[in-house]
C-alpha cells in the first residue's frame, strides 16, 4: 500500500509539547486535505498519511512543520518483504546506498545489518548498480516501526519550521509590496496563525490594488488559513493630509496603522504585530522612525525581515510564490501624495504634538473593516 511518510522538524525537541505539536500538524494537514476519509496516523517520530493520492504532495510541500516527506510503500516489518520493495525502489544503474531508521528497537536486526542485507539483495537483482556510501546518486530509505516498514527513494522537501498555530496568533500588516507577505509567511512558519490587515484608500481608482491583496492572501493560505481585514483608510488619510506637514505624514500614517492593528489584535486575541520593515530600506525604516512608529502600538512589533538584504527577501518571496503577485504595479495608499523628502529623524513626542491637531476616526475605520477568510 502506498502512503505518505511525513517527518517534522524541531517538534521532536519540544519535550512535553511534542504531542501537542504533532496533533496540531495532523489537524492542519486534515483541514488542508479536506477529506475526512483520508486517515492520518501518528507513529513514533513520524506521521503517516494512509493514501498515495498525488495532490497530497503539494499540501506536504506547503505545510509549515513538515521538514520532508516521501511517497512510500508500506509493508509488514519483515526483511523479505522489505527487500522485495527495496529492489523495486532502487534505480537500475548508477550508484546507491541504503539508509535504514529503526524506531522499533526489538526488530531482530539493527540498522546497519538491514542496510547490508538489503544492499546485497539489491546488488544481486540489479547488476549495473554500485554501492557508494559517501556520495550516492540514489538512496533507498527504509523505516521500521513496530507494526509497519516503509520503503521509499526520493524525499519531498517541506518548508520546515513549526506547525502553524502552536505559537498563538499575530496580526500581520500587509501592503502590496514584496516584503510584508514574506513577513506573514515567516510568522506562519514559526507557528503563528496570521490575521492579515491591509489599509486601503478606496478613492484610488485601481481595482488591481484590492485584487492584489486578495491574491496575496490566497497565495499565503496555501501554507495556512488566513483571515484578512481590509480597513478603509481614506478618511484618516484625508485628515492627516489636511493637518500634517507633508514630510511628517508617512510617520503619522504608520502610527495610525499601529493603533488600529492593536485594536484588531485585541479583538482577535493576537499577541503581536508583524510588519515587513527592514532596517534602513526606506525613510520610514530608520531606527528613529521605527521607534516613533512602534511606540503607537499596544503590542510588541516584530519584524522578521529586519536583518535581511533585499535580495534575500526576494529569494524567499520567489520560493513561496508571492513575488510575481507583489511586483505587479499598484498604488499603495501611502505612495499617493507622498513627500519626496520624508523626515528620517522623529521622536514620538514631536509627532504626538502634530497628532493632537487631528481627529482620526480609527475605531470607526476598524468597525467598518471588511473581513475575509481564506483556507478555512
Ligand atoms: P513592503 O514591501 O511590505 O510594502 P516596504 O519595504 O515597501 O514594505 P513600507 O512601504 O515602508 O515598506 O511599509 C513598511 C511596512 O508597513 C510594510 O511591510 C507593511 O507591514 C506595513 N504597511 C505599509 N503600508 C501598509 C498598508 N497600506 N496596509 C497595511 N500595512 C502596511
Ligand atoms: Mg511598501
In order, the DSSP letters of 127-180 are: TTEEE-SSS-SEEEEEEE-SS-EEEEES-EE---SB-TTTTEEEEEE--SSSHH
Q: Check whether 336 has a pLDDT greater than 90.
A: no
Whether residue 357 is annotated as binding a ligand: the answer is: no
Residue 327 CB–ligand 1 contact under 6 Å: no
pTM attached to this predicted model: 0.93
Neighbour order of strands in the sheet with 273-274: 301-302, 273-274, 168-173, 192-200, 226-232, 370-374
Number of the ligand closest to the Cα of 254: 1
Cα gap 79→64, rounded to integer Å: 34
For residue 42, give the C-alpha cell: 501518528
Q: In terms of Cα–Cα distance, which of 375, 373, 374, 368 is closest to 200?
A: 368
Whether residue 276 is annotated as binding a ligand: the answer is: yes
Residue 256 CB–ligand 1 contact under 6 Å: no
For residue 252, the surrounding DSSP H or E stretch is helix 246-268
pLDDT confidence bin for 328, thresholds 50/70/90: confident
Q: In terms of Cα–Cα distance, which of 256, 281, 73, 244 is closest to 173?
A: 256
Going from the Cα of 332 to the center of ligand 1, the distance in angstroms, rounded, reads: 9
Whether residue 285 is annotated as binding a ligand: the answer is: yes
Nearest CA to ligand 1 atom 24: 175
Three-class secondary structure of residue 375 per DSSP: coil
Residue 335 CB–ligand 1 contact under 6 Å: no
Cα gap 177→358, rounded to integer Å: 28
Q: In terms of Cα–Cα distance, which of 170, 177, 161 is closest to 276?
A: 177
Whether residue 198 is annotated as binding a ligand: the answer is: yes
Q: Check whether 204 has a pLDDT greater than 80.
A: no
Residue 281 CB–ligand 1 contact under 6 Å: yes
Q: Check whether 362 has a pLDDT greater than 70.
A: yes
The percentage of the chain sitting over the pLDDT mark of 70, rounded to a whole number, equals 95
Going from the Cα of 199 to the center of ligand 1, the distance in angstroms, rounded, reads: 10
Averaged pLDDT of the chain: 93
Per-residue pLDDT tens over the stretch 231-286 = 999 999 999 999 999 999 999 999 999 999 999 999 999 999 999 999 886 777 89
Per-residue pLDDT tens over the stretch 82-139 = 999 999 999 999 999 999 999 888 899 999 999 999 999 999 999 999 999 999 999 9
Nearest CA to ligand 1 atom 22: 175
The percentage of the chain sitting over the pLDDT mark of 90, rounded to a whole number, equals 85
Whether residue 173 is annotated as binding a ligand: the answer is: yes
Nearest CA to ligand 1 atom 21: 173
- Residue 246 CB-density burial (10 A; 0-12 exposed, 13-18 middle, 19+ buried): middle
pLDDT confidence bin for 334, thresholds 50/70/90: low
Beta strand ranges found along the chain (DSSP E): 2-8, 40-43, 46-49, 66-75, 94-102, 129-131, 138-144, 149-153, 156-157, 168-173, 192-200, 226-232, 273-274, 301-302, 370-374
Per-residue pLDDT tens over the stretch 45-57 = 899 999 999 999 9
Stretch 309-322: mean pLDDT: 97
Neighbours of ion ligand 2 (CB under 5 A): 175, 177
Amino acid at each position: 500500500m502506498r502512503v505518505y511518510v511525513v517527518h517534522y522538524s524541531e517538534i521532536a525537541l519540544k519535550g512535553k509539547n511534542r504531542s501537542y505539536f504533532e496533533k496540531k500538524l495532523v489537524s492542519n494537514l486534515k483541514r488542508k486535505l479536506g477529506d475526512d476519509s483520508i486517515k492520518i496516523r501518528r507513529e513514533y517520530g513520524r506521521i503517516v498519511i494512509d493514501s498515495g493520492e498525488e495532490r497530497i504532495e503539494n499540501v506536504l510541500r506547503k505545510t509549515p512543520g513538515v521538514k520532508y516527506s516521501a511517497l512510500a510503500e508500506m509493508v509488514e516489518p519483515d526483511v523479505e518483504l522489505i527487500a522485495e520493495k527495496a529492489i523495486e525502489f532502487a534505480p537500475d544503474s548508477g550508484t546507491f546506498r541504503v539508509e535504514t531508521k529503526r524506531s522499533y528497537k526489538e526488530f531482530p536486526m539493527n540498522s546497519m545489518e538491514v542496510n547490508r542485507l538489503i544492499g546485497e539483495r539489491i546488488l544481486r537483482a540489479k547488476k549495473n548498480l554500485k554501492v557508494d556510501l559517501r556520495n550516492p546518486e540514489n538512496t533507498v530509505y527504509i523505516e521500521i516501526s513496530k507494526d509497519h516498514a516503509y520503503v521509499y527513494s526520493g524525499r519531498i522537501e517541506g518548508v520546515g519550521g513549526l506547525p502553524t498555530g502552536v505559537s498563538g496568533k499575530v496580526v500581520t500588516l500587509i501592503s502590496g509590496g514584496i516584503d510584508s507577505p514574506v513577513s506573514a509567511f515567516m510568522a506562519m512558519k514559526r507557528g503563528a496563525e496570521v490575521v492579515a490587515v491591509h489599509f486601503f484608500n478606496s478613492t484610488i481608482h485601481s481595482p488591481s490594488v484590492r485584487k492584489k491583496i486578495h491574491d496575496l492572501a490566497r497565495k499565503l493560505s496555501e501554507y495556512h488559513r488566513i483571515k484578512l481585514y481590509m480597513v478603509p483608510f481614506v478618511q484618516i488619510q484625508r485628515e492627516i493630509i489636511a493637518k500634517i506637514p507633508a514630510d511628517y505624514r508617512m510617520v503619522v500614517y504608520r502610527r495610525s496603522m499601529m493603533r488600529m492593528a492593536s485594536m484588531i489584535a485585541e479583538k482577535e486575541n493576537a499577541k503581536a504585530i508583524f510588519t515587513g520593515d527592514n532596517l534602513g530600506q526606506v525613510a520610514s525604516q530608520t531606527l528613529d522612525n521605527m521607534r516613533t512608529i512602534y511606540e503607537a502600538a499596544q503590542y510588541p512589533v516584530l519584524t522578521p525581515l529586519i536583518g535581511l538584504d533585499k535580495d534575500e527577501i526576494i529569494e524567499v518571496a520567489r520560493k513561496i510564490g508571492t513575488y510575481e503577485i507583489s511586483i505587479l504595479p499598484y498604488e499603495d495608499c501611502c505612495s499617493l501624495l507622498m513627500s519626496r523628502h520624508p523626515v528620517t529623524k522623529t521622536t514620538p513626542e514631536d509627532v504626538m504634538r502634530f497628532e493632537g491637531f487631528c481627529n482620526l476616526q480609527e475605531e470607526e475605520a476598524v468597525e467598518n473593516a471588511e473581513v475575509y477568510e481564506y483556507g478555512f
